[in-house]
Amino acid sequence: MIDVVLSIEPPIIIGLIGLIIFFGFFASVFFQRTKIPDVLLLIFIGMLIGPIFGYMSSASLYVFAPLIGTIALIIIVFEGGFQLDFNTVIKELPKASAFTLVVCILTAILTMVFTLILGFPLIQGLLLGFIIAGTSYEIIVPLVAKLSVPEEIKTFLNLESALNDAITIIAAIALVQLISLKTFDAINPFQKIASAFSIAIVLGILAAFLWAKIMKSLRGQPYHYLLTLSSSFVLYVVTEILGGNGITSILVFGLVLGNYNTITKALNLHSYFKIDYSVKALQTEVSFFVRTMFFVYLGAVFTFSAFTQQIIIAALLVFMAILIARYASVKILVKANKAFKESETIIMAMLPRGLATAVLASLPLAFGLKLDFTNIVLMIVILSNVFATITIFYFERTHKKNLIATTPVTPT
């Protein structure tokens, strides 16, 4: 980090941050008007700063990927949970859970089969498959919020991207242990997934009710938002220490706080609590800042020289596995529930991978294995976001035309 800072004068760094925020705002407006997602524009700015013009060292920045990715996830996931409707979540949760499980397993199996062509051992192909099986919550939530789809579909996609986090991490760790220790318990991963979700849900609910009581007693005092944000950081750490999935606990924490009165009314607790307006306003501002800087950072850590012909071919095969798995899963979903038919294209498009996936790619190295999937995964991040951008643009433009065509003209 010191090398990165010393390579640029402080005023230039401050100026870059200011310009990035401005660009982030105009990229967001551009998305609203043209329906072209701003994700790739922000990643491109990061590429200009990092690998193209070399203002910052990609290698030095990548060291901080786990920390930056976690902080960004906590803030964005909290806002995502905060904005979800509790009744819609209960309605969509079973479908989202089943869909997530099918798409993750199918992606992993197809990746294993496709990478076999390149000479990957079956277990390594399966490991790579689970590493790239999950969609990126930090990308999905902001994208979905601006799409022309029903709230039920938005909730469904948000839940999918939150649920697959625990599945992919635990499955990847189990496979890494199998490769390194040559031992594997078929039941253990499922027990860990169930345990991780159970612990996260319980802690998220308890933390939300406790925090609501604390916020009531602090009514009229300043710094409500910073206190709430700090409590979500603490909750994440406590959940991880106790063996739960930290991101799921943050999602539940935000969901319960955002729907506190609906939940307490349903439970006949007769407890009223309303989040201060300043908390919501600041959460939106901070999420925008974190999201903008996150995608710029994602572009800055790319290293183009590492993308050899072999890496590109491997990434294309893996991406094909992702597309086929998602297409098949979406078709199963639509056949099981016709209500998803109109949003079939957008559900298919919501497959972007982000920094969390890139960080998970370093898991084998962390366990001492000589397996480096980093460059393949970074290529997948680019391809998945390009695909999502093009498909969303097509969907939104087609949806707008159909809406105009079916809108009756009122005679003057």
Give me the residue label for tokens 């006949």: 268
pLDDT in the model for residue 407: 45
pTM score? 0.75
Please tell me the distance from the alpha carbon of residue 77 to that of residue 246, in angstroms, as a whole number.
10
The identity of residue 139, as a single letter, is I
Task: Supply the CATH classification number for the domain 2-406.
Answer: 1.20.1530.20
Instruction: Count the Cβ atoms, other than its own, within 10 Å of residue 66.
Output: 16
pLDDT in the model for residue 112: 95
Q: Are 195 and 169 in contact (CB under 8 A)?
A: no
Please tell me the distance from the alpha carbon of residue 311 to that of residue 202, in angstroms, as a whole number.
42
Q: For residue 244, which phi and psi values (nearest 5 degrees)? A: -95, 175
Please tell me the distance from the alpha carbon of residue 218 to that of residue 351, in angstroms, as a whole number.
41
Spell out the per-residue pLDDT of the chain, length 412, in tens. 444 444 556 677 788 888 888 888 888 888 777 766 677 788 888 888 888 887 777 666 766 766 776 787 788 778 778 778 888 888 888 999 999 999 999 999 999 999 999 888 898 999 999 999 989 877 788 788 878 888 889 999 988 988 887 788 778 877 877 777 665 555 566 677 778 788 989 999 999 999 888 888 877 667 677 888 889 999 999 998 998 878 789 889 988 888 888 888 877 776 666 666 666 677 778 878 887 887 788 788 777 776 788 888 999 999 999 999 999 999 999 999 888 988 899 999 999 887 668 777 777 776 677 777 878 888 898 899 889 888 888 888 776 555 444 444 445 4
Q: Are 355 and 65 in contact (CB under 8 A)?
A: yes
pLDDT in the model for residue 106: 96
Tokens of 390: 């093009």
Handedness of CA 234, 237, 241, 246 (dihedral sign): positive
